[in-house]
Amino acid sequence: MKYIFPKQLQSVAALAFIAVLIILQHIVQVPLAVISEWELLHCSQDEIYIVENPSVFAVLCGKEKEENTRRAYMCMNGQPRLAGLMVLELLAKSGTRVYYAGDLDPEGILIAQKLSRYYKGEFHYWHMETEDYEKCKSEEVISPKRMKILERIRDDRLKPVVERIKAYGTAGYQEMLMEETK
């Protein structure tokens, strides 16, 4: 189904259409052009759960619809892009708590640290503890080049899981924690 709005109503109509989809608990991909017009963004319960991987995001949204709860989710889809960073700025302005979960590999840990530093509000790591790593570690050996990325982690909250990753030398993937992320 395609929706066409007159040019002067496109922005307002797009925002209204997105709001309706959100109310109906549909997954929505919002274009950067629309986000750039927003001044504020609120989430139910003043919190949002952000994940790195689209497959995890889809499962969480599916569980949410099944259980008919009102938790807000967002997917960064790997490295944060401008639209995602703009959403974080809007969420900080509204006092939203962020819970972030990413892969427990060097790149995922680095992304988490960067987001924590970037976000101007209350930020929590979600399922990024040593116990989570134990549950989701794979057999994939991390190359020495990738292991060097872990030297850039300075956040004390991430250091225990970084030490565990160094000890095992393998990556952990959040898809393996699907049952835990409720």
What pLDDT, on the 0 to 100 scale, is given for residue 45?
87
Q: What is the mean pLDDT of residues 73-86?
A: 90
Distance CA(58)–CA(76), nearest Å, equals: 12
What is the rounded average pLDDT of the residues 164-177?
Answer: 94
d(CA 67, CA 165): 34
- Give pLDDT, residue 1: 33
What pLDDT is recorded for position 61?
Answer: 81
Per-residue confidence (pLDDT) for residue 65, from 0 to 100:
66
Amino acid identity of residue 45, one-letter, is: Q
Domain boundaries, the chain: 41-177
State residue 25's pLDDT score.
54
Q: CA angle 177-178-182, nearest 5°?
A: 105
116, 155 Cβ separation under 8 angstroms: yes
Predicted TM-score (pTM) of the model is 0.82
What pLDDT is stored for residue 41 in this prediction? 86
Residue 10 has pLDDT above 60, yes or no: no
Residue 3 has pLDDT above 50, yes or no: no
Residue 54 predicted with pLDDT over 90: no
Which range has the worst mean pLDDT, 74-83, 92-101, 124-133, 157-166?
74-83
Q: Give the H/E segment covering residue 100.
A: strand 97-101
pLDDT at residue 66, as a whole number = 66
Q: What is the DSSP string of 104-129?
A: BSHHHHHHHHHHHHH--S-EEE-S-S
Confidence of residue 180 (pLDDT cuts 50, 70, 90): low
Q: Which CATH number fits domain 41-177: 3.40.1360.10, 3.30.450.20, 3.30.470.20, 3.40.50.10490?
A: 3.40.1360.10
Query: pLDDT tens for residues 104-139?
Result: 999 999 999 999 999 999 999 999 999 999 999 999
Which amino acid appears at position 116 of this protein? S
89: CB partners within 8 A, 6+ apart: 120
Say whether 140 sits in a helix, a strand or coil. Answer: strand
How far is the first Cα of the chain from the last one, in angstroms, to the nearest whole number? 32
